[in-house]
Amino acid sequence: MAEASYSLYLVRCNDGSLYTGIATDIARRLKEHADSRRGAKYLRGKAPLTLVFERELGDRSVATKVEHQVKKLPRHEKSDTTILSARIEDVLASIESASKE
């Protein structure tokens, strides 16, 4: 059985904050955030949630590493999708070079 492909996503909350996560099915995950106890505690009471960025990354290991680095970025870099995409490419390149060593 093929492994599910993970994607990184960013959601803007009603207070303007950004939430970063990974999921195999972003639409399902956003529904969980909005409608169920399976959603992130951080997002409770912060609806409506607006998906502002998504990017398929591959396996869970890579997605988790990218998510960790994106969460460290300053807000202005996460808000600008061009800068964010470039930062993600940098992280992916460093992961790839580390795996070759």
CB 23 within 8 A of CB 6: yes
- Average pLDDT for 11-18: 96
Q: How confident is the model at residue 101 (pLDDT cuts 50, 70, 90)?
A: confident
Q: What is the DSSP letter of 80?
A: -
- Using DSSP's 3-state secondary structure scheme, residue 75 falls into helix
User: Is-contact 8 54, C-beta < 8 A?
Assistant: yes
- The rounded radius of gyration (Å) of the Cα atoms in the chain is 14
pLDDT in tens, 18-76: 999 999 999 999 999 999 889 999 999 999 999 999 999 999 999 999 999 999 999 99
Would the pTM of this model clear 0.85, i.e. be above it? yes
Q: What is the CATH number of the domain that holds 88?
A: 3.40.1440
What pLDDT sits at residue 36?
A: 87
- Evaluate whether residue 1 is within a structural domain: no
| pLDDT score for 99 | 83
Would 26 be classed as within a structural domain?
A: yes
Residue 1 above 60 pLDDT? no
52-67 per-position pLDDT tens digit: 999 999 999 999 999 9
In a domain, 51, yes or no: yes
> What total number of domains does the chain contain?
1
